[in-house]
């Protein structure tokens, strides 16, 4: 088995993958592991004369097998620097369709320094975002305009204004709001940006509007330039449906545009849920390489979306850790959150998170403004070490929110 060497010790220049593997039928596990390594590096299904002298130098090496876990080391020569599409076509390409495999999941990638430094990474990161908002001691608080579709440009701006003046830091478009017949991109941008500036003057706080620019690449870049011309500092993109190369193009252009890039992970569960696909940790690593500044990572099973506590903690820890000099990425918790979720969420994930609540703001019994106030009150209570039950006694907005949704 030319691609298996359980005595091999990976070098610092190797790219290392970790797979979860389930063979089809009764095929021997080692045979499947070898075929994964072969197909994802230089091999094929049969012997080829021109390969025999190159397997030792360029072939991937299975160096660890532990039950269903397989670790494979790849020589760095197999990859083009700064080309995420080529890298993924190798280690996450044809292997997923091989008939000897029942289930295959790419659980982790360890990138060597040379590959990491061939990518730009985040332009702002956590420190740059906190500096922009001048908020250093608490989680950032955001909302998504609801309903996610159906409001016109004026209605959208009005709801955003109510959220900002109630205490929300960030207003975000939803993943499927682009430029629709009843809500056009440019008009929405200008109306909502004006509402943002008005809210900033009234509150004395910096406010953020994350407008969704997801579109065909040329149109996406055109929209990004319009955002910059208007004076807005942020854009959002749906990174999975957009595609890695398109995201990388946006990041390359962003050296000039200097926009904070928010990554929405809509569609990630196609890959991350279940035993076949790619883990959210891998998606987060690729996103940080390319250069997003913040990304949805889950709520540790507190909200409506599936995201385990340990998995979410591991992803968030990576995004904030040292990574060959690349800036950090702000983890975003979103999906089914409300003021009563805040104590447990901060306990599990810490203060370096962005908390996004849509229905948990707009669904407040007294509307968006009161829902925004309740979210800020909940965050302030936790940051100041005051139990929610005590803090809400003199905070009617928080009290009503807890009465409706309860405490997690």
Share of the chain above pLDDT 70, in %: 95
| One domain, residues 80 and 172 | no
| One domain, residues 148 and 111 | no
Q: Which of 50, 82, 116 lies at the terminal end of a domain, its last residue?
A: 116
Q: 27 lies in which domain range?
A: 15-116
| One domain, residues 249 and 376 | yes
In sequence order, the β-bridge partners of residue 25 are none
Convert the pLDDT of each residue in 359-403 to its tens digit: 999 999 999 999 999 999 999 999 999 999 999 999 999 999 999
Q: Among 45-49, 296-300, 344-348, where is mean pLDDT lowest?
A: 45-49
Indicate the pairing of strand 140-144 with strand 69-74. Answer: unpaired
| One domain, residues 144 and 84 | no
- Taking Cα atoms as reference points, which of 207, 265, 199, 215 lies closest to residue 233? 207
Answer positive or negative: Cα dihedral of 285, 291, 296, 300. positive
11 is written with which tokens? 């070098």
Place of tokens 């999975």: 240
For residue 229, is pLDDT > 60? yes
Q: Which of 53, 81, 116 lies at the terminal end of a domain, its last residue?
A: 116
pLDDT given for residue 403 in this prediction: 97
Convert the pLDDT of each residue in 269-287 to its tens digit: 999 999 999 999 999 999 9
8: in domain? no
Q: How far is CA 286 from CA 20, 121, 243, 329, in A?
A: 19, 9, 11, 12
189: in domain? yes
Q: Which of 69, 87, 116 lies at the terminal end of a domain, its last residue?
A: 116
For residue 305, is pLDDT > 80? no
93-100: long-range contacts, CB 8 A cutoff, minimum separation 24: 93/40, 94/39, 94/40, 95/35, 95/36, 95/39, 95/40, 96/276, 96/277, 98/35, 98/36, 98/39, 99/24, 100/23, 100/24, 100/27, 100/31, 100/32, 100/35
| One domain, residues 330 and 367 | yes
Q: Return the CATH number at 331.
A: 3.20.20.110
Convert the pLDDT of each residue in 91-118 to its tens digit: 999 999 999 999 999 999 999 999 999 9
Contact partners, residue 100, CB within 8 Å, separation at least 6: 23, 24, 27, 31, 32, 35
| One domain, residues 106 and 180 | no
250: in domain? yes
74 is written with which tokens? 């790849």
| One domain, residues 91 and 238 | no
Compute the distance between CA of residue 50 and CA of residue 264 in angstroms, rounded to an integer.
45
| One domain, residues 385 and 341 | yes
Compute the distance between CA of residue 294 and CA of residue 310 in angstroms, rounded to an integer.
20
Q: Which of the two residues, 52 and 253, has the higher pLDDT score?
A: 253
Cβ atoms of residues 161 and 193 within 8 Å:
no
Indicate the pairing of strand 69-74 with strand 330-334. Answer: unpaired
Q: How far is CA 225 from CA 50, 70, 222, 232, in A?
A: 50, 45, 5, 10
| One domain, residues 103 and 162 | no
Compute the distance between CA of residue 330 and CA of residue 51 in angstroms, rounded to an integer.
45
4: in domain? no
Does pTM top 0.85 for this prediction?
yes
- Give me the mean pLDDT over the 141-146 stretch: 95
Q: Return the CATH number at 28.
A: 3.30.70.150
Convert the pLDDT of each residue in 325-334 to its tens digit: 999 999 999 9
5: in domain? no
H or E stretch including 22?
Answer: strand 15-23
| One domain, residues 111 and 151 | no
| One domain, residues 135 and 247 | yes
- Under DSSP, the state recorded for 327 is P
Q: How far is CA 221 from CA 34, 47, 225, 230, 256, in A?
A: 43, 46, 6, 14, 12
Cβ atoms of residues 190 and 151 within 8 Å:
no
- Give me the mean pLDDT over the 178-193 stretch: 97
pLDDT given for residue 311 in this prediction: 93
- Taking Cα atoms as reference points, which of 248, 287, 250, 245 lies closest to residue 265? 287
1: in domain? no
248: in domain? yes
Share of the chain above pLDDT 90, in %: 89
CA angle 87, 319, 262 (to 5 degrees): 85
Compute the distance between CA of residue 284 and CA of residue 252 in angstroms, rounded to an integer.
18
For residue 49, is pLDDT > 60? no
6: in domain? no
| One domain, residues 284 and 334 | yes
H or E stretch including 66?
Answer: strand 61-66
Q: How many domains in the chain?
A: 2
- Under DSSP, the state recorded for 121 is -
pLDDT given for residue 90 in this prediction: 95
Answer positive or negative: Cα dihedral of 398, 399, 404, 408. positive
Q: Among all residues, which ones are annotated catalytic?
A: 146, 264
């Amino acid at each position: 088995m030319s691609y298996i060497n359980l005595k091999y010790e990976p070098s610092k220049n190797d790219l290392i993958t970790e797979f979860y593997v389930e063979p089809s039928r009764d095929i021997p596990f080692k045979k499947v592991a070898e075929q994964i390594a072969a197909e994802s590096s230089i091999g094929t299904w049969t012997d080829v004369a021109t390969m025999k002298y190159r397997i030792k130098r360029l072939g991937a090496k299975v160096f660890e097998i532990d039950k269903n876990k397989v670790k494979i080391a790849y020589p760095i020569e197999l990859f083009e620097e700064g080309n995420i599409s080529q890298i993924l076509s190798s280690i996450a390409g044809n292997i997923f369709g091989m008939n000897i495999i029942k289930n295959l999941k790419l659980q982790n990638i360890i990138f060597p320094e040379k590959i990491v430094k061939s990518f730009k990474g985040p332009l702002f990161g956590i420190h740059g975002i906190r500096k922009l908002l001048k908020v250093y001691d608490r989680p950032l608080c955001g909302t998504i305009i609801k309903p996610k579709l159906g409001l016109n440009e004026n209605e959208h701006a009005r709801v955003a204004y109510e959220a900002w003046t109630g205490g929300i830091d960030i207003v975000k478009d939803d993943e499927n709001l682009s430029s629709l017949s009843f809500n056009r991109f440019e008009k929405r941008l200008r109306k909502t940006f004006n509402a943002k500036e008005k809210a900033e003057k009234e509150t004395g706080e910096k406010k953020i509007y994350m407008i969704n620019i997801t579109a065909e690449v040329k149109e996406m870049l055109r929209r990004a330039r319009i955002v910059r011309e208007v004076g807005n500092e942020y854009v959002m993109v749906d990174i999975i449906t957009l595609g890695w190369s398109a995201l990388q193009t946006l990041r390359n252009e962003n050296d000039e545009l200097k926009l904070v890039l928010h990554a929405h992970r809509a569609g990630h569960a196609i890959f991350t849920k279940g035993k076949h696909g790619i883990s959210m940790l891998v998606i987060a690593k690729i996103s940080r390489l390319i250069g997003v500044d913040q990304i949805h990572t889950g709520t540790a099973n507190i909200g409506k979306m599936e995201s385990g506590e340990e998995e979410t903690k591991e992803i968030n820890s990576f995004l904030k850790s040292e990574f060959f000099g690349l800036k950090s990425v702000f983890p975003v918790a979103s999906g089914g959150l409300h003021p009563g979720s805040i104590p447990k969420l901060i306990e599990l994930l810490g203060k370096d998170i962005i908390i996004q609540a849509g229905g948990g703001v707009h669904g407040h019994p007294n509307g968006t403004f009161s829902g925004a106030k309740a979210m800020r009150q909940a965050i302030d209570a936790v940051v100041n070490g005051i139990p929610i039950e005590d803090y809400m006694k003199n905070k009617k907005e928080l009290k009503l929110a807890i009465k409706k949704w309860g405490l997690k």
